[in-house]
Amino acid sequence: MSLLTAENLSFSYPLDEGKKLDIFHNWNLKVQEGEILCLLGPSGCGKSTVLKLLAGFLAPSSGSVFYRDNPVRAPFKMGQMIFQDPSQLLPWLTVRENVLFPNIRRMPARRRKATLRKEPDEQLQQILGLSGMEEYGDFYPSQLSGGMKQRCALARSLYANPEILFMDEPFVSLDAPSRNSLQKLVLKLWEEKKKTILFVTHDIAEALLLADRLMILSTLNGAVKIQENPLSRPRRRQNPDFLKQEARLYSYLESSEMTL
Ligand code: ADP
Ligand code: MG
């Protein structure tokens, strides 16, 4: 069964003077349970827009999105979004409090304070451990590196125990070693926790490393192509097959068909 389905989806942004910017038209997608689907394409082609539509942050101009046959009309708990901006954490809360925050923000103030003061529960400790943040529960965001902030954002999303992780270029601002170790963390979550992951990137190697399927978006006319990742797992960037696929995809994206 498809976990997430887009049916005849069209979307345009309204512009001034009654004009509109068409992003895509009558577009269909079935996301399979447990897959990593990477959305790849040049800047401005509509990757973030697609992700926001699928996660319920934007409403389509026409067509529908379904999560397990339920219409998606707003962000839902089983689908958690991780953005690229490390400042998505609340600076006045510690790592532990940031992870807990979405679950306690609707509580009355007194109960919220009591919950934050309590000893961390086992689930929280486990998630901090899984995310490589067990040592940093009492740190504030200003005391963390960019990579640690993204680990914290990931831990916060995992606390809701979602089925789907929507990740919008989450590692784009990180240095190469941090990016590599976070890519490994994504693969671990997929392998051990069986998460379904929709991962936006414009980095071809990152997409090839992570994806079961690649969804390639064009800037030209909203065209979308979906293809299987031909590389078997585990994958290594230095492997000749990997380099060959990287070169192939690079020239495909560069071709006049795919870019302006
Ligand atoms: P990507 O994530 O691939 O870089 P986006 O989905 O952010 O692309 O944007 C796709 C296109 O829509 C771009 O041309 C962008 O300028 C435009 N766009 C994005 N957000 C808005 C908005 N709120 N209003 C109008 N145009 C927008
Ligand atoms: Mg974007």
Query: Mind spelling out the 3-state secondary structure of 122-148?
Result: HHHHHHHHHCCCHHHCCCCHHHCCHHH
CB of 79 closer than 6 angstroms to any ligand 1 atom: no
What's the Cα-to-Cα distance from 69 to each of 2, 3, 5, 57, 72, rounded to whole Å?
9, 8, 8, 18, 9
CB of 218 closer than 6 angstroms to any ligand 1 atom: no
pLDDT > 90 in the chain, percent: 71
Which residue intervals of the chain bear CATH 3.40.50.300? 1-78+163-178+196-260
Atom of ligand 1 nearest to the CA of 202: 3
Residue whose CA is at the smallest distance from ligand 1 atom 23: 13
Atom of ligand 1 nearest to the CA of 49: 6
pTM of the model: 0.93
Query: Within 13 Å of residue 114, how many CA atoms lie on the same side as its CB?
Result: 5
What pLDDT digit, counting tens, does each position of 189-245 carry? Answer: 999 999 999 999 999 999 999 999 999 987 756 678 899 999 999 999 999 999 999
The H or E element containing residue 13 is: strand 2-14
CATH number of 1-78+163-178+196-260: 3.40.50.300
What pLDDT digit, counting tens, does each position of 67-82 carry? Answer: 998 999 999 999 999 9
29: Cβ–Cβ under 8 A, 6 or more apart, which residues? 4, 5, 6, 9, 54, 215, 224, 226
Length of the chain: 260
What pLDDT digit, counting tens, does each position of 206-222 carry? Answer: 999 999 999 998 775 66
For position 107, what pLDDT does the model report? 80
Q: What's the gap in Å between 260 CA and the centre of ligand 1?
A: 15
Token code pair at residue 175: 């240095």
